């Protein structure tokens, strides 16, 4: 396994072509806007080195038996699925942000089972190709960007019907030695902190969409790939050198538009090429795994936000007020409900044909449906408890100013035994988690990450087996032939 420093060094050896606010960045690792997101991924390596977290962060490989980072692991049991969620909560607690390796972990588990079933039905050899990649990923402890979301263009049209055929990533040329692809993947979480990109189709495909039914992996800095870094609220605060005003100056997340401009992919790296009938299975399984993930990562960040709100109440001198206690209880209740959903869909998991364990799809979608709602209420309650100063306080430069700093120290103090700076730091953290850069990975991503709310509702309708529930009601009501009671 890589150490945290070895991970950082490995990124420095790569040649990313990335644009941030219209400028080509030569050194993304040290760029002040990007660096906090790299620190979050780095934590996934640092905790794996800590004996205290060995059982959560590492696991014996199902391929080699060697100890590997859990982010490179293929789930072998419901215990693995549960530990995944617990690990994600831990990392959310340690970073208060998105730590970005979950998408790749969910992608490899999806492709492990789907390629197995493709080969069994079609006689292809995708599964063995994938296992060779997987073994290298485990041995090298790679961070992999799972790339599913296309830009989609006109949502009422299928990929092949778009006015611009590149609005879904597609195969534009097949050669003896591989394929050439063109298109883009949007909202790519942690792409610039990844060693490899693992591409998947984004929706169920029809026969006429066969060129878009493609899955492969390639180096994250391959020739023909470029990145356009996504803006976040308050992101330029990271350029100011203030440890207070950013709120969470150490850690963060990022998304990018990932453009494939005629990128060559060797056949050995291809896991789907035209097998459109399997695109739906791949998308649904990946979505299920990733919706499970939100029952861990969002809960960990929620723990930090709840703690910050409780501290804000103490610093404001209102921690004993009954309505404050009730609001904190509600925040805890909502957060633990999300965690319960993540654990439940894991505990109800079952093996696929390849032996890889899959979560309970219905409960995973229920988990994510709750995530589209509860973090918003948790954030609202945190803002309520924090008070208006959270969004009106002066900057750190004002606090440090020799003339006006003493006024800020005097007039923005809460309870007398807590330094004014401590109060401002906690309020800035709440601002960051609910409105700032971290809100991208907590608040807004809770809505759209792993699919919009309607996507989960469609899956809930498919998985719920309403006819079986109607049959239960008929039998209890005495409408069916036999009640089952003598």
> Which of 255, 383, 396, 431 is the catalytic position?
255
> Which of 195, 290, 345, 442 is the catalytic position?
290
> 145: which residues sit within 8 A by CB, 6+ positions away?
103, 104, 188, 189, 190, 191, 194, 196, 197, 198, 220, 258
> Which of 275, 383, 431, 445 is the catalytic position?
445
The Cβ-side half-sphere exposure at 484, using a 13 Å CA radius, reads 7
Residue 124 annotated to the active site: no
- Residue 106: how many CB atoms within 10 A of its CB? 24
> 417: which residues sit within 8 A by CB, 6+ positions away?
none
Residue 115 annotated to the active site: no
Residue 421 annotated to the active site: no
> Which of 294, 315, 357, 442 is the catalytic position?
294
Residue 255 annotated to the active site: yes
Three-state DSSP state, 256: strand
Gap between the Cα atoms of 476 and 426, Å rounded: 55
Backbone angles phi, psi at 290, to 5 degrees: -75, -30
Residue 376 annotated to the active site: no
Gap between the Cα atoms of 335 and 371, Å rounded: 9
In 3D, which of 313, 371, 292 has the Cα closest to residue 109? Answer: 292
> Which of 45, 72, 98, 372 is the catalytic position?
98
> Which of 218, 297, 341, 345 is the catalytic position?
297
Residue 102 annotated to the active site: yes
Residue 297 annotated to the active site: yes
Strands (DSSP E) found in 293-375: 350-351, 357-358
Q: For residue 222, what is the DSSP state?
A: -
> Which of 7, 72, 78, 102 is the catalytic position?
102
Q: List residues with catalytic annotation.
A: 98, 102, 189, 255, 290, 294, 297, 445
């Amino acid at each position: 396994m890589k150490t945290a420093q070895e991970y950082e060094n490995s990124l420095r050896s790569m040649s990313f072509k990335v644009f941030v606010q219209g400028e080509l960045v030569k050194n993304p690792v040290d760029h002040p806007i990007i660096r906090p997101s790299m620190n979050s991924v780095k934590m996934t390596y640092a905790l794996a080195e800590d004996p205290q977290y060995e059982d959560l962060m590492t696991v014996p490989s199902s391929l080699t038996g060697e100890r590997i980072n859990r982010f490179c692991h293929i789930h072998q049991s419901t215990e693995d699925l549960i530990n995944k969620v617990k690990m994600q909560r831990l990392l959310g607690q340690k970073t208060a942000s998105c730590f970005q390796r979950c998408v790749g972990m969910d992608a490899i588990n999806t492709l492990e089972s789907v390629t197995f079933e493709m080969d069994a039905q079609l006689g292809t050899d995708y599964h063995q190709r994938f296992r060779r990649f997987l073994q290298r990923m485990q041995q090298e402890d790679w961070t992999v960007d799972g790339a599913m979301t296309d830009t989609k263009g006109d949502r009422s049209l299928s990929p092949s019907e778009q006015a611009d055929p590149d609005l879904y990533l597609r195969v534009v040329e097949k050669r003896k030695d591989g394929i050439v692809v063109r298109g883009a993947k949007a909202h790519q979480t942690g792409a610039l902190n990844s060693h490899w990109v693992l591409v998947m189709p984004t929706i169920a495909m029809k026969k006429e969409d066969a060129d878009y039914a493609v899955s492969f992996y390639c180096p994250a800095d391959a020739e023909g790939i470029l990145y356009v870094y996504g803006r976040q609220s308050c992101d330029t605060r990271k350029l100011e050198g203030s440890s207070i005003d950013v709120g969470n100056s150490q850690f963060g997340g990022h998304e990018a538009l990932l453009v494939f401009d005629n990128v060559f992919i060797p056949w050995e790296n291809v896991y789907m090429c035209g097998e459109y009938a399997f695109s739906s299975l791949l998308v649904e399984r990946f979505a299920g795994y990733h919706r499970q993930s939100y029952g861990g990562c969002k809960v960990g960040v929620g723990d930090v936000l709840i703690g910050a709100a409780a501290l804000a109440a103490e610093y404001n001198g209102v921690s004993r007020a009954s309505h404050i206690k009730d609001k904190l209880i509600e925040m805890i209740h909502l957060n633990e409900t999300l965690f319960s959903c993540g654990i439940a869909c894991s505990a109800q998991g079952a093996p696929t044909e390849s032996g890889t364990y899959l979560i309970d799809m219905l409960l995973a979608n229920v988990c994510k449906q709750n995530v589209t709602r509860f973090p918003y209420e948790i954030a609202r309650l945190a803002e309520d408890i924090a008070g208006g100063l959270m969004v009106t306080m002066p900057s750190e430069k004002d606090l440090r100013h020799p003339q006006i700093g003493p006024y800020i120290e005097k007039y923005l103090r809460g309870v007398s035994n807590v330094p004014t700076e401590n109060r401002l730091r906690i309020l800035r953290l709440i601002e960051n988690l609910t409105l700032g850069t971290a809100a991208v990975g907590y608040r807004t991503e809770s809505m759209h990450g792993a699919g919009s709310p309607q996507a989960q509702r469609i899956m809930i309708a498919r998985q719920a087996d309403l006819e079986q529930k109607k049959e239960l009601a008929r039998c209890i009501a005495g409408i069916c032939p036999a009640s089952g009671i003598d």
